């Protein structure tokens, strides 16, 4: 994991990309017929799994097929006051089901669920809905959100997940509300490690999946701040045989997508590593990947922060000022170093997620995970962020992807 800072500076801007719209296909709408047998290679060729072991391909997992009426009852008719959040493809509602029968239950009883209801007009939404059911039906890991079921009925597309009581990392890092306490340094590191483990599992030979949408809003937190990845709508099987990458149209979220993927459409596991690096910088600085409320040279967090990350002393100057110095200086410097490696312009020189898991585990074990330095570090221009809108996937309703502006390294 060498430092590749020097190699990054001269990289050229990405060239223009032509995006496919993919709007002409029709999709079936027969209730309950999701994705018959999956076309993915996973279960038959993978080694036998011990049920319940950490990180496995489920060959027998069957998320339940819910009727629309069941989910309407479970969410009390999709009550606006039970909305947990809203993304590019629709709103997510809180609901309740019986933990044994999965029938709708009274609010406050049984199993709490999160129901994502896709906007009906989006073809892209349907495709992503299918991809998500496909992947999450087969992959199980403590750091991936569990898909409890789905609903495919006429025009309705819904996904039913385990409820994650602490919501998204995005809300904790950037929302200004009494509901969200400041995330301590050690929790940030715990969440980073959880996210890294989730990605490492996806990249492992067991799964061989490229996630393609790693960002703070897709990292959900359970009551103990264990991180779980959600949103598998953009996930892709990794390259097979001797191929080094998957060629695909460019999808994702501006600010998080790797530059070589944006410019060539060549997707590798290292694209996820880049996105992970962006989130590490967000954890360090408490600032969003893209924030147009900042001065123009700071709109893109990574471009702005890179020179600071490369310098051990200057890193302290860009740390989230709300931490008020309560973090391990050595830990922050090491994390900045990892982020810089993840953000290397040469994808091959980025570390693997396995390497990052090891490095982050070592950081957790370090004795000075969180301490108050004797002197308050100087803050360099951090304004606390938080006013910007969430970076959403660059997908418009007509299925096209907005062309991201070139990254200036």
Sites of contact with ligand ATP (CB under 6 A): 84-89, 92, 114, 116, 145, 161, 163-164, 167-168, 170-171, 217-218, 220, 230-231, 253, 390, 392-393
In the chain, what is the straight-line distance between the N-terminal and C-terminal CA atoms, in Å? 20
- Between 164 and 359, CB nearer to ligand ATP: 164
Contact between 198 and 190 under an 8 Å Cβ cutoff? The reply is: no
Measured CA distances, 3 to 13, 91, 351 (Å): 21, 41, 10
| Contacted by 86, from ligand ATP, Mg ion, none: CB < 5 to 8 Å by type | ligand ATP
We find the least distance from the C-beta atom of residue 10 to ligand ATP, in angstroms, to be 32
How far, in Å, CA of 229 to CA of 197, rounded?
A: 10
For 406, residues 6+ apart whose C-beta sits below 8 A from its C-beta are 13, 14
What are the tokens at 195?
């996210």
| Contacted by 400, from Mg ion, ligand ATP, none: CB < 5 to 8 Å by type | none
Spot the catalytic one: 98, 205, 213, 291.
213
| Contacted by 84, from Mg ion, ligand ATP, none: CB < 5 to 8 Å by type | ligand ATP
User: How many residues lie near Mg ion (CB under 5 A)?
Assistant: 4
- Between 172 and 245, CB nearer to ligand ATP: 172
Adjacent-strand bridge partners of 114: 94, 161
Out of 75, 218, 300, 394, name the contact with Mg ion by CB under 5 A.
218
We find the least distance from the C-beta atom of residue 260 to Mg ion, in angstroms, to be 24
Q: Is 291 marked active-site?
A: no
Question: Is 117 known to sit in a ligand binding site?
Answer: yes
Helix, strand, coil percentages (3-state) for the chain, rounded to 5, are 35, 15, 50
Query: Sign of the CA dihedral 362, 365, 366, 372?
Result: positive
| Residue where the block lists tokens 């009906």 | 120
- Between 87 and 385, CB nearer to Mg ion: 87
Q: Determine, following the binding rule CB under 5 A, whether residue 231 of this chain makes contact with Mg ion.
A: yes
**Coil, helix or strand for 107?**
coil
| Contacted by 321, from Mg ion, ligand ATP, none: CB < 5 to 8 Å by type | none
Query: Sign of the CA dihedral 266, 393, 300, 194?
Result: negative
Interface with Mg ion in residues 53-112 (CB under 5 A): 87
How far, in Å, CA of 153 to CA of 261, rounded?
A: 35
Contact between 95 and 82 under an 8 Å Cβ cutoff? The reply is: yes
Tell me which DSSP letter residue 290 carries: B
- Between 14 and 167, CB nearer to ligand ATP: 167
We find the least distance from the C-beta atom of residue 228 to Mg ion, in angstroms, to be 12
| Contacted by 92, from Mg ion, ligand ATP, none: CB < 5 to 8 Å by type | ligand ATP
- Between 117 and 306, CB nearer to ligand ATP: 117
We find the least distance from the C-beta atom of residue 228 to ligand ATP, in angstroms, to be 8
How far, in Å, CA of 32 to CA of 131, rounded?
A: 15
Count of beta carbons in the 10 Å neighbourhood of residue 179: 9
Q: Please choose, out of 109-117, 223-231, 280-288, 364-372, the segment that lies near Mg ion by the rule CB under 5 A.
A: 223-231
Write each residue from 188 to 217 as x if it is in contact with Mg ion (CB under 5 A), else as -, in one continuous string. Answer: -----------------------------x
We find the least distance from the C-beta atom of residue 361 to Mg ion, in angstroms, to be 26
- Between 86 and 354, CB nearer to ligand ATP: 86
- Give the residue at shortest CB distance from ligand ATP: 87
How far, in Å, CA of 130 to CA of 254, rounded?
A: 23
We find the least distance from the C-beta atom of residue 301 to ligand ATP, in angstroms, to be 17
| Contacted by 341, from Mg ion, ligand ATP, none: CB < 5 to 8 Å by type | none
- Between 143 and 218, CB nearer to ligand ATP: 218
Contact between 341 and 4 under an 8 Å Cβ cutoff? The reply is: yes
How far, in Å, CA of 176 to CA of 397, rounded?
A: 29
| Residue where the block lists tokens 């694209």 | 271
Angle between helices 329-342 and 269-285 (to 10 degrees): 150
Give catalytic residue positions: 213
Residue list, annotated binding site: 117
Residue list, annotated binding site for ATP: 117
Binding footprint of Mg ion on the chain (CB under 5 A) = 87, 217-218, 231
């Amino acid at each position: 994991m060498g430092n590749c800072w020097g190699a990054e500076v001269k990289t050229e801007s990405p060239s223009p990309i032509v995006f496919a719209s993919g709007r002409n296909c029709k999709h079936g709408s027969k209730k309950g017929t999701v994705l018959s047998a999956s076309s993915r290679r996973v279960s038959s060729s993978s080694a036998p799994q011990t049920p319940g072991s950490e990180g496995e391909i489920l060959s027998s997992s069957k998320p339940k097929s819910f009727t629309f009426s069941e989910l309407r009852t479970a969410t009390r008719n999709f009550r606006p006051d039970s909305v947990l959040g809203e993304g590019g493809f629709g709103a997510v509602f809180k609901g309740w089901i019986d933990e044994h029968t999965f029938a709708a239950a009274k609010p406050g009883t049984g199993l709490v669920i999160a129901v994502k209801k896709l906007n009906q007009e989006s073809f892209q939404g349907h495709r992503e809905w299918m991809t998500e059911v496909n992947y999450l039906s087969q992959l199980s890991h403590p750091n991936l959100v569990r898909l409890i079921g789905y609903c495919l009925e006429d025009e309705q597309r819904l996904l039913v997940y385990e409820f994650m009581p602490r919501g998204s990392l995005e809300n904790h890092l950037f929302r200004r509300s009494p509901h969200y306490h400041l995330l301590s340094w050690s929790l940030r590191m715990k969440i980073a490690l959880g996210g890294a483990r989730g990605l490492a599992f996806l990249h492992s030979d067991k799964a061989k999946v490229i996630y393609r949408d790693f960002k703070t809003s897709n990292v959900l937190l359970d009551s103990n701040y264990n991180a779980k990845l959600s949103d598998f709508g953009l996930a892709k099987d990794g390259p097979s045989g001797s191929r080094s990458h998957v060629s695909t149209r460019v999808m994702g979220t501006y600010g998080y997508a790797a530059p070589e993927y944006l410019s060539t459409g060549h997707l590798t596991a290292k694209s996820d590593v880049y996105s992970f690096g962006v989130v590490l910088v967000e954890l360090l600085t408490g600032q969003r990947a893209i924030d147009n409320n900042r001065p123009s040279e700071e709109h893109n967090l990574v471009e702005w922060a890179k020179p600071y990350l490369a310098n051990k002393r200057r890193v302290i100057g860009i740390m989230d000022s709300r931490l008020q110095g309560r973090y391990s200086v050595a830990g922050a410097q090491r994390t900045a170093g990892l982020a810089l490696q993840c953000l290397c312009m040469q994808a091959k020189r980025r570390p693997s997620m396995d390497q990052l898991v090891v490095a982050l585990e070592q950081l957790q074990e370090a004795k000075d995970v969180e301490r108050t330095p004797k002197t308050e570090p100087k803050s360099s221009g951090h304004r606390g962020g938080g006013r910007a809108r969430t970076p959403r996937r660059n997908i418009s309703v007509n299925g096209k992807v907005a062309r991201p502006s070139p990254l200036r390294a």
